[in-house]
Amino acid sequence: MPESSPAPLPPTGLPPVAHLRTKATALLLLTAALILGSALYLMYARGMFEATQPLVLLADDSEGVSVGMDMTFSGFPIGRVRRIELAPSGDVRILVDVVQSEARWLRSSSVFTLVRGVVGPATIKAYSGVRDDPPLPAGAERPVLRGDASAQIPELMLTAHALLRNLRDLSAADAPLAQTLANAQQLSTRLQGPQGALGVLLGNTEDVRQVSQLLARSQQLVARLESMARQTERQVLAPEGLLPQVQASVTQVSAQISGLLQDTRRSLQKLDAVLAQAETVSTNAATASTDLVTLRAEVESNLRQMEALMQTLQRQWPFARQAREPELALP
């Protein structure tokens, strides 16, 4: 039986693509180039091509530490864990590659911590307190201080239990706090009562009554004192009171004394004229003239004493006038 030839495929209606194999190869090469470029860019962004210097951190446990984790300074990554190994002494050696451009932040006094939170991975942090210290040399070994937050959970639970126990003791019916609240409520009730704060302070009804009477009498006494003060002011300082009358009397007496002083001055002037005439009459009148001179001196002394007394009266009188009369001066 003759073999039958395969039936020809029906035409698809699409024209054949020229150089299909070449274009597919070019597309694959372009895709590979993009993938390789992206990988190189990521490696560059991660600092894979930057110069680094080694740093060895010593810890007693490597729990939470993984290869590739960052070491941060002030929140910025400056290094990456390259390898974790066990030292002959039993300690854990964490080899960190620090970027040389960022190694300037590390000093010989820098402190490194491994912090492991309750949630999330552990982190290695570097702290430099004194920026003037010498820089950290390459290959230096530094201990790591651990800060494990999960290790504090049991202590926190114990503290919470103790706090709850103390709160339960404080809120018990026979606790001192309950007695204190009861006393405060009783005090508030007494304060709102008819006796008020006096009843709370004195604690005795009779004492409260006496204090109330004393306060009432004090108010009456104050009212009487105010009335007396007003009456005194009206009798002394009012226009028809005592003070204006005293001032008027002082003014009148001062005017009279001033007139008396003027009359005395005129008399002295006449006496001087008589003395001058007596001296020219004769020498026999010398004795009389001497007596007259003595008399004039005595009169003048009395006048000066009167004038000094008047001035003292005008200065020391409590109700003296604001503007005084002009003083008379003796010759």
Whole-number Å distance between alpha carbons of 242 and 162 = 84
Question: Which residue positions in the chain have pLDDT lower than 70?
Answer: 1-14, 45-49, 117-120, 148-154, 187, 189-209, 235-243, 245, 278-292, 295, 302, 309, 312-331
Domain boundaries, the chain: 20-44, 52-152, 195-236, 242-316
Q: Token pair for residue 172?
A: 């018990």
Which residues contact residue 73 at a Cβ distance below 8 angstroms, ignoring those fewer than 6 apart? Answer: 102, 105, 106, 125, 126, 127, 128
Q: Tell me the pTM.
A: 0.38
- List pLDDT tens digits, range 22-36: 888 888 999 999 999
pLDDT recorded at residue 262:
79
